């Protein structure tokens, strides 16, 4: 079984054919971790993925992305506490200076929201999916102050030194389609503990450098990432898939 550790199934780009995606995931023995970005998409996820038959295919992670740091944290926290049995993890959460607005003091807002998200994850003993673009050192420092069940650095793009620190902290590292063409990603992969590897699509992100720049689907993309990973690590695709399945079960279950 393959696992997509990070995909935005609540994105409107999937709305018209989400039922078909779910059927295909089940038929191809693929499980997907749906992450959200704000209260609105989190409510949508609870509505879409709360049923038991869907929950067998989709891990339901809810979170407030740094882009939406102005969200009402109290409302989100209440939603989580009221639906905790239908929530598998907290994500997508993190920090990102790309969205800083000095006039609105969004740096402080991001820090507060990220801290609250981690507190929720710690309180309910849930794994997390972390966004750390241009903020990895700060994210690692904050994570070190919490006692978290499991944490994955989604779309890892740090330095070898930052990778070593993350692995020393026991964090999982996720790679996606850029692994197919990025020499930097391939070099980082070689340095990554194979027991901490996960893969993702980050769909519906499109990849102009590969995969024909179409909407990303785990059913059509994940095996390409596995093949690239196998080439870089000099392993068979079957061996890589087995390692990834084992890691994913440890992280999610």
Per-residue pLDDT tens digits of the chain, which is 253 residues long: 999 999 999 999 999 999 999 999 999 999 999 999 999 999 999 999 987 778 889 999 999 999 999 999 999 999 999 999 999 999 999 999 999 987 778 899 999 999 999 999 999 999 999 999 999 999 999 999 999 989 999 999 999 999 999 999 999 999 999 999 999 999 999 999 999 999 999 999 999 888 888 899 999 999 999 999 999 999 999 999 999 999 999 999 8
pLDDT of residue 107: 93
In order of start, what are the domains of the chain with their CATH numbers? 2-252 (3.20.20.140)
The 10 Å Cβ neighbour count of residue 155 is 21
Q: For residue 187, what are its two tokens?
A: 């070099």
pLDDT of residue 212: 83
pTM above 0.85, yes or no: yes
pLDDT of residue 253: 86
- Strand pairing of 128-131 and 58-62? unpaired
| Measured CA distances, 205 to 115, 155, 178 (Å) | 27, 12, 11
- Strand pairing of 172-175 and 30-34? unpaired
Of 88, 178, 173, the closest CA to residue 124 belongs to 88
Q: Is 83 left (phi over 0), alpha (psi -120 to 50) or beta?
A: alpha
How long, in residues, is the chain? 253
pLDDT of residue 213: 83
- If DSSP codes are grouped into helix, strand and coil, which group holds residue 190? helix
How would you class 32 by CB atoms within 10 Å of its CB: exposed for 0-12, middle for 13-18, buried for 19 or more?
A: buried
**Contact, 148 vs 122, CB < 8 A?**
yes
pLDDT in tens, 143-171: 999 999 899 999 999 999 999 999 999 99
pLDDT of residue 105: 83
């Amino acid at each position: 079984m393959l696992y997509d550790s990070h995909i935005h199934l609540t994105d409107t780009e999937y709305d018209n054919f989400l039922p078909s995606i779910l059927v295909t995931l089940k038929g191809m023995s693929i499980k997907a971790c749906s992450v959200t970005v704000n209260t609105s998409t989190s409510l949508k996820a609870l509505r879409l993925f709360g049923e038991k038959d869907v929950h067998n295919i989709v891990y339901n992670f809810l979170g407030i992305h740094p882009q939406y740091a102005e969200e009402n944290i109290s409302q989100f926290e209440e939603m989580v506490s009221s639906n905790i049995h239908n929530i598998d993890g907290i994500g997508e959460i993190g920090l990102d200076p790309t969205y800083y607005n000095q006039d609105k003091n969004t740096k402080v807002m991001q820090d507060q929201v990220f801290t609250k998200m981690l507190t929720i994850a710690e309180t309910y003993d849930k794994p997390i999916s972390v966004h750390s673009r241009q903020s990895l050192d700060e994210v690692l420092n904050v994570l070190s102050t919490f006692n978290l069940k499991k944490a994955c650095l989604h779309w890892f793009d740090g330095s070898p030194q930052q990778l070593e620190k993350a692995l020393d902290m026991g964090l999982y590292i996720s790679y996606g389609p850029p692994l197919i063409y990025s020499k930097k990603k391939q070099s980082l992969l070689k340095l990554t503990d194979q027991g901490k590897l996960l893969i993702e699509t980050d769909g519906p992100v499109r990849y102009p450098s590969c995969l024909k720049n179409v909407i990303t689907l785990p059913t059509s993309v994940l095996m390409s990432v596995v093949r690239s990973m196998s080439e870089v690590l000099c392993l068979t695709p079957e061996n890589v898939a087995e390692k990834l399945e084992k890691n994913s079960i440890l992280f999610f279950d």
